[in-house]
Amino acid sequence: MENKCGCWSALRRTASCKPSLESRTTNSVHDAAIETRYLNASNREMRAPNDPQNSSDLNPNQLLEFSFHELKSATGNFRPDSILGEGGFGFVFKGWIHENGTAPAKPGAGITVAVKSLKPDGLQGHREWVAEVDFLGQLHHPNLVKLIGYCIEDDQRLLVYEFMTRGSLENHLFRRTIPLPWSIRIKIATGAAKGLAFLHEGTEPIIYRDFKTSNILLDTEYNAKLSDFGLAKAGPQGDKTHVSTRVVGTYGYAAPEYVMTGHLTSKSDVYSFGVVLLEILTGRRSMDKKRPSGEQNLVMWARPYLADKRKVYQLVDPRLELNYSVKGVQKVAQIAYNCLSRDSKARPSMDEVVKALSPLHDLNDFAVLSYHARLSQQGRRKNKQEGTQNITLSQSKWFNESPRSVGKHHCK
């Protein structure tokens, strides 16, 4: 390693070098040092195939290195009608590449991919780009989006992911006219929980730090996969209880103790999961300025209902009508309530959340069935009552008419 000059020495097009730091640290350090740590860690995954360093260190799922020209062709010159989404980092484009290698393919041929293009306007975006390569380059799980490759060429920074057919959970919850069925909501919540549990339970725990509906992507079968690891952070090691860091993330999802102190733990992610679970249950956004003042903050509005089984059904997304599991709603409300505990230590682990959510798939006690059963029972009672009333009226009529009839017979 002595004759190598830093983080990107193995990449063909890089121009800068950084001094070496430890690949993992839990202390709060200068931003430049953090970037260097990410870069050094990323170098393990982004080493060129002919690098003379020990090949046993290479990940068998080696990331592909794309040229800018290849990705430009794969996305049709980054044309506007291929845009899948936009964020602070830049745009995400739909593209096509050949199955074997990095060559672009014609639309509809080869493999469909999502290409994230970073805006070349600052260190922060570049650091998040490197963090994404660092984490997704090493982590592989069914509930994490697969990173296929990258491009680093001059000031261009791009990432290539597997294409997620059904887009984000955010779109399905808040922008589609057809509501997600209850069973699909439970499936998505469980899958997302499994992704977080995988990050937290590893030998080197990782805190996702930006868990929200727009970062949960869905494949054809509505399997949930976490995306966008730009803000992910290595968790505390050894006897450390937290990581001290600058506060980043999305307002409405961040845990209150993290916002106030900058102390980051896996329980910060658990709180964010509780917010998303509330959004799945209610069909409401975590923050919505269009609602009345007392309902704009979802957690503040929903918390009193979560603790009361008699009121919890008032939280259910009205678009579901009565097509939801009665016990399922009760259990989801309980899980959300525990995840949103103001005491971070009282929140469950994500592994516990997964175990609590998994049995909910098999529940079939839908509210609509109970409703029809009650209607039927009420109908039988009503018919019985009406029948009794009719008999009583008939008897009354008979008794009232009988004397007159008898009198007429006597007069003859």
- Residues tagged in the binding site annotation for ATP: 116
Q: How far apart are CA 227 and CA 172, in angstroms?
A: 16
Phi, psi dihedral angles at 366 (to 5 degrees): -70, 140
The torsion defined by the Cα of 212, 215, 219 and 223, in degrees rounded to 10, comes to -40
> Which residues have CB under 8 Å from 148's CB, separation 6+?
63, 64, 113, 160, 161, 162
**Per-residue tokens: 11:** 């990449």
Query: Taking the CA of residue 153 as centre, how many other CA atoms within 13 Å lie in the half-sphere pointing to its CB?
Result: 13
Q: How far apart are CA 211 and CA 228, in angstroms?
A: 9
Three-class DSSP category at 384: helix
Q: How far apart are CA 46 and CA 64, in angstroms?
A: 8
Q: How far is CA 410 from the centre of its chain?
A: 89
Q: How far apart are CA 63 and CA 58, in angstroms?
A: 10
Contact 294/301 with Cβ under 8 angstroms? Answer: yes
Q: In the chain, what is the straight-line distance between the N-terminal and C-terminal CA atoms, in Å?
A: 131
> Which residues have CB under 8 Å from 127's CB, separation 6+?
31, 34, 35, 38
Report angle CA 99, 101, 107 to the nearest 5 degrees.
50
Beta strands in 19-110 (DSSP E): 64-65, 83-87, 90-97
What positions carry a catalytic annotation? 210
> What angle, 0 to 180 degrees and rounded to 10, lies between the N-to-C axes of helices 182-201 and 326-339?
30
Q: How far apart are CA 23 and CA 94, in angstroms?
A: 33
